[in-house]
Structure 1
Amino acid sequence: MGSFRAKDADRDRFIELIEAAYVDGQLGAADRELRVGRALSAETLDELETLTRDLQLPPGYVPPAAPSTSPSTSPSRSRRATGVLVGLVMFVVLVVAGVTGIVALAMFAVPGENDSATSQGVETAPAPIESEEIVAEVPEAPSFAMSAPQVRAFVRAYEEEFGTLEAFEVGFYPERVGVQVPVRGSRPRMERWSWTGEWRQDTTATTVRGPYQRVDLGAVDVGRLFDNIAAARRTLEVEKGRFTHALLIRWGDEPTELNIYVGNEFSESGYLSSTPAGEIMRRHPYES
């Protein structure tokens, strides 16, 4: 399984199991935070399996079905086969067209006519110059990069799109923002959306699992967030650590936290916890 790359849907699937195990009493708060952080930065399915291998399925918990990775049903293989077939057909068409063109030239060429016209001083008109083809420029798709101006733009876009600054969880990543958006109604429901400069809905409405509480995006001090990202890289003792993500979350009766995670290519990680306003509450450096 380790040879398959993990997708966002895979990470969400394993995070739901970790959170359900936390609610079931199998994990403590610190262990839950650590596993969720590593699941969000996992690059392969084998890494995700390792994080949940020792967990029991909580009573009543039904894990979402894993997507099929069978090579026999791989769409890329069928696309390759179709491409080969199309290539062979095009080759045959080109060969037939070439032969037909040669035969046509041989049939319609009349020896001497062009030579006599030239000897009498009659010049043939030059071929018209074709106008340059005008190619319409395709505008580039919107993109997101983790920076203070783009985070502020995301907050404005969120309020415009959903009419609120409340969410159940917000994850800031280097190239996107993932949000659990509350769904209006009498029961706690949420939808997962992604922002990459434009909105994409990742899931339909589902039940809010665990004791999630709503957080306020308007309370985030964006400037202090980036100050704390720099501090996390300096102080969490992760060799050549890079920012992997930050989570704005409120769990049960605990206050809202903005947790900043740093990791490296060796799956070593640590995180710094702050208030939305940027006050550092605790650090969890990497422990070998």
Structure 2
Amino acid sequence: MSDLSSATTRARDLDRSQTCTLLDAAYSDGQLGVDEYKARTAAAMHAATIGDLSRLTADLQIPAHLLELASAPEAQARRSGLRGRGLVAAVAAVVLLGGFGFGYLLFGRAAGSDQLTSVAGSTPAQPVAAGEPVDTLTADGIREFLRLFQEKFRDKTADDVDLYRDGAVVVRVIPGQPHRSQRWMFNGGFEPWTEPTNRDRDLATVDLEQLEVDRIGQLISDAPRMVGLPSGRIDRVGIRASNAEPRVTVYVKEGDAYKGWVTATLRGEIRDVQAA
């Protein structure tokens, strides 16, 4: 960062997503190992300032086609909010990279709009299947999501799942191709969100059948209080596969910033509570 004012400017969801795109590129070309990649991506998702984000990519070689993106957070921090702000959907550059990132597919409804939108200034997001809205941040919504998941895929396995207030993003292995995966968008129905990409065939998957829905639903309700933010809101629930033990992380926001999270097992047993 070239000046203190931009370094201390509060980061937006868009800035966090752009940083995750750069980390995806660094992971895919071998600059970062799996553990460091996951750690940096998690840090990016919860970064408070532009300076925090810049430090996560300062030692990386940035591909030429992403150089503009690399400088975007600093440049945007100086524009004094010239652009209107919508919730982040998906970073289109990630589709081109075929990255494995788990933090960059944030989405939501922009003010006055029910359309999922792309925020990288390029390819619009693909339309998703019409269907009744499902609030997957409630126990009943998760149950309905899992029912439709089973109906669509004939099993309940995934690499990663992100649940949102009005939908979800799922990464699944392509049947018969353990070295390939595809990202799906759920909005009352499932539709492919990206083209298939390469994956490490040894990556663990998570069996959503093991999810104790009522306990996770209760955890979602309790998370704001647990992180000391009773007025906070749940922005997202991430379900991550792991060779050790799958994890469910409930992310709490206050205003526009992530302020804390609670991590638990699929059975709802608390493993970590963090307040930003």
Same fold (TM over 0.5): yes
- Which position in structure 2 is the counterpart of 1:103? none
- Which position in structure 2 is the counterpart of 1:203? 194
CA contact (8 A) 1:191 1:204 kept: yes
Cα distance between partner residues in 2 of 1:47 and 1:204? 33
Instruction: Determine helix, strand or coil for the equivalent of 1:164.
Output: coil
Instruction: Determine helix, strand or coil for the equivalent of 1:277.
Output: coil
Instruction: Determine helix, strand or coil for the equivalent of 1:225.
Output: helix
Cα distance between partner residues in 1 of 2:151 and 2:228? 39
Say if 2:270 is the partner of 1:261.
Answer: no
- Which position in structure 1 is the counterpart of 2:266? 276
Instruction: Determine helix, strand or coil for the equivalent of 1:143.
Output: coil
Offset of 1:269 from its aligned partner?
A: 2.0
Structure 1 unaligned spans of 5+: 71-139
- Which string of whole-angstrom CA distances, capped at 9 and with x for unpartnered residues, describes residues 162-181 of structure 1? 11111000111111111001
- Which position in structure 1 is the counterpart of 2:234? 243
Pairing 1:191-230 to 2, within 5 Å after superposition: 191-208=182-199, 212-230=203-221
- Which string of whole-angstrom CA distances, capped at 9 and with x for unpartnered residues, describes residues 177-196 of structure 1? 11001102344211111111
Cα distance between partner residues in 1 of 2:167 and 2:51? 22
Change in Cα spacing, 1:29 to 1:10, as seen in structure 2 (3 Å) is closer
Say if 2:225 is the partner of 1:234.
Answer: yes
Change in Cα spacing, 1:187 to 1:221, as seen in structure 2 (3 Å) is closer
Larger Rg: 1
The TM-score, its normalising length taken from structure 2, stands at 0.61
- Which string of whole-angstrom CA distances, capped at 9 and with x for unpartnered residues, describes residues 240-268 of structure 1? 321011111123x3211111111122524
Offset of 1:200 from its aligned partner?
A: 2.2
Pairing 1:7-18 to 2, within 5 Å after superposition: 13-14=21-22, 16-17=24-25
Say if 2:60 is the partner of 1:56.
Answer: yes
Cα distance between partner residues in 2 of 1:229 and 1:163? 27
Cα distance between partner residues in 2 of 1:22 and 1:275? 30
The TM-score, its normalising length taken from structure 1, stands at 0.58
RMSD: 4.2
Cα distance between partner residues in 2 of 1:222 and 1:58? 41
- Which position in structure 2 is the counterpart of 1:155? 146
CA contact (8 A) 1:16 1:209 kept: no
Change in Cα spacing, 1:258 to 1:141, as seen in structure 2 (3 Å) is closer
Cα distance between partner residues in 1 of 2:32 and 2:201? 6
Pairing 1:105-124 to 2, within 5 Å after superposition: none
Between the aligned residues of both structures, percent identity stands at: 19
- Which position in structure 1 is the counterpart of 2:103? none
Change in Cα spacing, 1:12 to 1:193, as seen in structure 2 (3 Å) is farther
CA contact (8 A) 2:160 2:239 kept: yes
Cα distance between partner residues in 2 of 1:13 and 1:214? 22
CA contact (8 A) 2:138 2:220 kept: no
Instruction: Determine helix, strand or coil for the equivalent of 2:257.
Output: coil
How many aligned residue pairs are there? 209
- Which string of whole-angstrom CA distances, capped at 9 and with x for unpartnered residues, describes residues 117-170 of structure 1? xxxxxxxxxxxxxxxxxxxxxxx8521223222211111111111111110001
- Which position in structure 1 is the counterpart of 2:42? 33
Residue type of the partner of 2:172?
A: V
Residue type of the partner of 1:54?
A: A
**Structure in which a larger fraction of residues adopt helix:** 1
Structure 2 unaligned spans of 5+: 1-9, 67-92, 98-118, 123-129
